[in-house]
């Protein structure tokens, strides 16, 4: 079914409860057609190359503003011959559809719907219509694919992975559903080139190319939250509300401004659908892991000019770790309003609570005892008390206004308000324990706070003529602020002696009186920027991207004030098509990141910002009409002010009153090979191999707790013939050895703590019980491999999950 006035450029979300209530009172209805009032006669100069039809239609819509609606599977496997020359948008569309067996039917002044061209003597029946592309790129939900169509995270230009001159990895909705990747931590563990380091049961950090990742975007809007050490719910975000997660490797200062050097994560939310649909699922797994999910979407009016979607998910899970559990509740809602045929308003919100019990803190067990000997514990050992809990919560409301100005020009305003909060009442066994008598004290502390952030981004994009060819430009500006207020308590009072029996530890310990506030945090970060991206179509084969961002950054509060004004961040890239399959590319970007509050020199001054330049060259390819993407990249990241301990000062006798840092240079060199998409009908794959080495200015290897080499692959195959109700698949992760030098206090010497190389293998099977009902079994860590997900953080370690399973049933309607 088709709903008139459906804007081609999609968008965002509002409170789930309201949407779900609305659905209970609305029936799916057949739309009323719209008659064409006039033919669009504006001409454009087109230079759309031969490529998959879906990508060609995206480009035509972007260049001309013509709204094109079609079912998600209609363009599968079809190659468009392309179009070149000056003509109307509908003339160009007719050429793109040549040989496709499809035709465009008018549906308004500037809109068409695609349908199979009727054969002589046949009747035409239209299937359900879905718009599959918007200003954020191609929607992956419903495609069944492990590769995206188009993305916009790197430059704001809507480009295919092959057209983007940086390494890009996208975990699609199908990939997440197949392997039960229910939170961002799960997704990152399966993302090529990413290392996940678990600080403890609630906090984890991600690394790419030797650098911590603290750049999170939501629908392309950078999050201003950066207090990674205190955790703010980002890494535990439930994926039930997301269509895909995009990972752009290297520096992304063009759209981010200040940020980390390794990569940027963009979490793209699900959008409402033009037809009524939804699903409900129930799952159960190892260690009393239970999960439920409901997702409902569709039109809220007879004409379909208002659409909504609501998602709710709840998970209650225990763990292989003793006395630990976590409850997660997430709600999401979105409404879209077609204010006019050319104007789309989106409002929405999401809400998530993560409530754990028995949280570990600073690892899950201490590496050394009071003699300096290595502790040996079971994987189930949990250093946290049974009352230890690092609660995290997020609340977001957002709005988007998009307007099609005609001639391929679009303007978009995005607004976002986010609350990230935490209440950590923590107690655990830390340090060089147990004592020789088997006792150990509890290290306790409480941390409370939240970050309230606001962001706004306004841009305009469209085509322009120069030297007889058509090019594209994006011009925009953004403003953001983040106010972090927090309190720390560590002058606590115990009623009884603070000692527990380490050898018979069960989590039972006295919870102290937290006492008065020990530390207040009250910091504000403000950032403004203007940016431009231009894509010059130098020839049919050569595309050159040139852009930049001017940044003003100001940090005030209890931390030392810091200001960076008028900082220019350049972006340069080029792609050259060798033939219809292969392209070579090169790019240069840079970025800067102000230091965290604790990164002070011996004079208590904040050290200068970390800065990095990212150089990348590579080869990209599209196979099978774009259903399979591949890339090979060589990268080099030059870092000018990496924070490292000032050992010459810190090791003085007597010991200085403050622990100091200095800035040093570092260089990362490496290469990545990735592939994602359909190898053959029904066979999806995503995988990659990454090699990198990070060295400081003395040539010494650093960041060695990350593996130098890693390989990740996930694949699924829908069986054929009599077994076509089955889909089978599996995944594998391998990394070579990683190590860290830890300080052995009792022996007063450094020691190397090492994680040897290891494989982890997962399996999945889905059975389609009926048209609407399916059951999926996921078996993780098939061979029950022992490995660490953290080595050496505060002289601690964290074990990875043992073998476990999850069974999920899903009803689609």
* pLDDT tens digit sequence for 601-641: 898 888 888 888 999 999 999 999 889 999 999 999 999 98
Q: Phi, psi (5° rounding) for residue 266? A: -115, 115
Going by C-beta distance under 8 Å and a sequence separation of 6 or more, which residues neighbour residue 71?
A: 127, 128, 129, 130
> What does DSSP assign to residue 513?
B
Q: How far apart are CA 411 and CA 458, in angstroms?
A: 7
Class of the CATH domain delimited by 334-721+740-756+787-801: mainly beta
The phi, psi pair for 676, rounded to 5°, reads -150, 140
Taking 3-state DSSP, the helix, strand and coil percentages for the chain, each rounded to the nearest 5, stand at: 10, 55, 40
CB 792 within 8 A of CB 753: yes
Angstrom distance (rounded) from CA 228 to CA 237:
14
pTM of the model: 0.85
336 SS3 class: strand
Return the structure tokens found at 695: 């060295």
Distance of alpha carbon 283 from the chain centroid: 24
Indicate the pairing of strand 111-116 with strand 67-69: parallel
Which neighbouring-strand residues pair with 222?
A: 217
Q: Do 29 and 37 form a contact (C-beta atoms < 8 A)?
A: no
Among candidate residues 797, 765, 796, 795, the one with its CA nearest the CA of residue 780: 765
Q: Which helix (H) or strand (E) holds 548?
A: strand 542-557
C-alpha angle 187-152-591 in degrees, rounded to nearest 5 = 80
Give 418: exposed, middle or buried? Use CB within 10 Å, 0-12, 13-18, 19+. buried
Nearest to 402 by CA among 122, 65, 636, 48: 65
Contact predicate 214/242, CB 8 Å: no
Quick: pLDDT tens for 166-215. 999 999 999 999 999 999 999 999 999 999 999 999 999 999 998 888 88
**Below-70 pLDDT ranges, the chain:** 1-41, 49-50, 72-73, 77, 84-85, 108, 118-134, 224-232
Spatial distance between the Cα atoms of 664 and 75, rounded to a whole number of angstroms: 52
- Tokens for 292, please give them: 């439920």
Distance from C-alpha of 615 to C-alpha of 667, rounded to nearest angstrom:
11
Output the six-digit token pair for 37.
Answer: 């009032």
Residue 62: φ, ψ to 5°: -65, -40
- Both tokens assigned to 770: 């009926």
Nearest-angstrom CA–CA distance, 712 and 307: 38
- What DSSP string runs through 101-115? TEEEEE-STTEEEEE
pLDDT at residue 2, rounded to an integer:
34
Instruction: Give dist(CA 75, CA 91) in Å, integer.
Output: 19
pLDDT of residue 260: 83
Which two tokens mark 626?
């774009």
Task: Please give the Cα distance from 163 to 59 (Å, whole number).
Answer: 12
**Backbone region of residue 515 per phi and psi (left: phi > 0; alpha: psi in -120 to 50; beta: other values):** left
Q: Which tokens sit at 555?
A: 């940090």
Instruction: Look at residues 453, 466, 356, 337 and name the one whose alpha carbon lies nearest to residue 402.
Output: 337
398 neighbors 334 (Cβ within 8 angstroms):
no
pLDDT of residue 548: 96
Cβ burial of 522 (10 Å; 0-12, 13-18, 19+) is: middle
Torsion of CA 565, 255, 639, 167, to 10 degrees: -170
- Residue 402 in tokens: 């998009």
pLDDT at 27: 33
At 65 the pLDDT is: 81
3-state secondary structure 192-251: CCCEEEECCCCCEEEEECCEEECCEEECCEECCCCCHHHCCCCCCCEHHHEEEEEEEECC
- Tokens 């789930």 sit at which residue? 16
* CATH number belonging to domain 42-115: 3.55.50.30
- CA pair distance 810, 250, nearest whole angstrom: 37
> What is residue 73's predicted lDDT score, i.e. its pLDDT?
67
Are 27 and 302 contacting, i.e. CB atoms less than 8 angstroms apart?
A: no
Q: Helix or strand or coil: residue 266?
A: strand
What is the residue-wise DSSP string for 28-41? --PPPP--------
Kindly give, in sequence order, each residue whose CB lies less than 8 Å from that of residue 552, ignoring residues fewer than 6 positions away: 526, 527, 528, 529, 564, 565, 566, 567
8 A C-beta contact, residue 789 and residue 198: yes
Which secondary-structure segment (H or E) carries 62?
helix 53-64
Task: Note if the bond before 296 is cis, omega within 30 degrees.
Answer: no
Contacts of 508 (CB under 8 A, 6+ apart): 385, 386, 500
Is the separation of the CB atoms in 687 and 715 below 8 Å?
Answer: yes
pLDDT value at position 104? Answer: 87
Query: Is 471 in contact with 483 (CB distance < 8 Å)?
Result: no
Q: Which two tokens stand for residue 723?
A: 């077994």
Phi first, then psi, for residue 94 (nearest 5°) are: -60, -40
* Domain residue ranges in the chain: 42-115, 334-721+740-756+787-801
Q: Of 135, 139, 156, which is closest to residue 148 (Cα–Cα)?
A: 139
Rounded to whole angstroms, the Cα distance separating 602 from 26 reads 66
CB-based contacts of 132, cutoff 8 Å, min separation 6: 54, 70, 72, 138, 139, 142, 143, 149
Question: In the prediction, which pLDDT does 597 show?
Answer: 76
Backbone angles phi, psi at 443, to 5 degrees: -85, 125
């Amino acid at each position: 079914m088709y709903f008139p006035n459906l804007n081609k450029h999609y968008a965002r979300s509002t409170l789930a409860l309201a949407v779900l209530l609305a659905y209970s009172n609305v029936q799916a209805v057949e739309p009323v057609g719209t008659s064409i009032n006039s033919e669009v006669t504006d001409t454009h100069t087109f230079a759309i190359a031969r490529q998959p039809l879906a990508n060609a239609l995206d480009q035509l819509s972007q260049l001309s503003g013509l709204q094109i609606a079609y079912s998600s599977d209609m363009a599968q496997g079809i190659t468009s011959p392309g179009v070149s020359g000056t003509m109307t948008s509908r003339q160009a569309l007719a050429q793109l559809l040549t040989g496709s067996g499809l035709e465009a039917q008018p549906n308004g002044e500037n809109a068409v719907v695609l349908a199979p061209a009727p054969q002589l003597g046949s009747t035409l029946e239209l299937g359900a219509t879905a718009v599959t592309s918007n200003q954020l790129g191609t929607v992956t939900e419903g495609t069944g694919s492990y590769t995206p169509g188009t993305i916009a995270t790197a430059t704001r230009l809507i480009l295919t992975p092959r057209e983007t001159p940086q390494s890009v990895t996208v975990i699609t909705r199908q990939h997440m559903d197949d392997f039960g990747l229910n939170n961002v931590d799960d997704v990152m563990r399966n993302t090529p080139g990413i290392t996940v380091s678990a600080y403890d049961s609630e906090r984890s950090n991600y690394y790419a190319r030797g650098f911590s990742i603290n750049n999170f975007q939501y629908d392309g809007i950078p999050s201003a939250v950066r207090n990674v050490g205190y955790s703010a719910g980002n890494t535990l975000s439930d994926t039930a509300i997301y269509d895909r997660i995009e990972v752009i490797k290297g520096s992304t200062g063009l759209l981010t401004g200040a940020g980390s050097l390794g990569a940027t994560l963009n979490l793209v939310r699900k959008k409402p659908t033009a037809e009524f649909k939804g699903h409900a699922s129930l799952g159960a797994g190892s260690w009393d892991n239970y999960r439920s999910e409901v997702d409902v979407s569709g039109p809220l009016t007879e004409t379909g000019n208002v659409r909504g979607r609501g998602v709710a998910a709840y998970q209650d899970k225990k763990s292989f770790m003793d006395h630990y559990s976590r409850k997660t509740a997430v709600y999401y809602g979105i409404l879209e309003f077609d204010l006019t045929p050319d104007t789309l308003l989106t409002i929405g919100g999401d809400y998530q609570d993560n409530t754990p019990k028995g949280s570990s803190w600073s690892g899950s067990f201490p590496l050394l005892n009071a003699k300096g000997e290595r502790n040996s514990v079971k994987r189930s050992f949990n250093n946290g008390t049974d009352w230890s809990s690092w609660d995290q919560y997020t609340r977001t409301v957002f709005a988007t206004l998009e307007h099609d100005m005609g001639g391929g020009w679009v303007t978009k305003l995005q607004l976002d308000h986010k609350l990230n909060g935490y209440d950590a009442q923590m107690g655990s066994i830390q340090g060089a324990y147990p004592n020789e008598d088997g006792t150990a004290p509890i290290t306790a502390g409480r941390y409370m706070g939240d970050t309230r952030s606001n962001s706004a981004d306004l841009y305009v994009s469209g085509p322009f003529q120069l030297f007889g060819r058509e090019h594209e430009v994006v011009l925009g500006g953004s403003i953001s602020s983040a106010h972090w207020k927090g309190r720390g308590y560590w002058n606590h009072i115990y009623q009884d002696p603070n000692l527990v029996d380490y050898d018979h530890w069960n989590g039972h310990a006295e919870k102290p009186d937290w006492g008065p506030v020990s530390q207040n945090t009250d910091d504000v970060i403000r950032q403004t920027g203007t940016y431009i991206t231009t894509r010059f179509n130098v020839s049919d084969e050569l595309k050159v991207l040139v852009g930049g961002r001017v940044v003003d950054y100001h940090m005030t509060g209890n931390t030392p004030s810091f200001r960076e004004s008028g900082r220019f961040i350049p972006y340069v890239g080029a792609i050259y098509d060798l033939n219809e399959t292969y392209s070579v590319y090169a790019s240069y970007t840079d970025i800067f990141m102000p230091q965290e509050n604790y990164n002070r020199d011996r004079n208590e001054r904040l050290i200068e910002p970390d800065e990095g330049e990212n150089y990348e060259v590579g080869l990209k390819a599209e196979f099978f009409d774009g259903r399979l993407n591949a890339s090979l990249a060589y990268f080099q990241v030059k870092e000018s002010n990496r924070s490292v301990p000032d050992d010459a000062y810190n090791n003085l006798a007597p010991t200085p009153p403050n622990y100091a840092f200095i800035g040093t240079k570092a260089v990362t060199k490496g290469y990545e090979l990735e592939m994602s998409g359909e190898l053959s009908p029904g066979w999806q794959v995503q995988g990659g191999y990454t090699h990198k080495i990070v060295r400081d200015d003395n040539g010494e290897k650093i960041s060695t707790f990350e593996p130098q080499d890693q390989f990740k692959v996930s694949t699924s195959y829908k069986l054929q013939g009599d077994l076509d109700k089955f889909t089978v698949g599996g995944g594998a992760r391998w990394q070579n050895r990683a190590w860290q030098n830890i300080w052995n206090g009792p022996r007063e010497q450094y020691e190397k703590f090492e994680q040897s190389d290891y494989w982890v293998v997962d399996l999945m099977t889905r059975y389609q019980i009926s048209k609407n009902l399916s059951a999926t079994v996921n078996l993780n860590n098939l061979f029950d491999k022992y490995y660490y997900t953290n080595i050496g953080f505060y002289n601690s370690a964290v074990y990875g999950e043992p073998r476990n399973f999850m069974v999920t049933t899903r009803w689609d309607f």
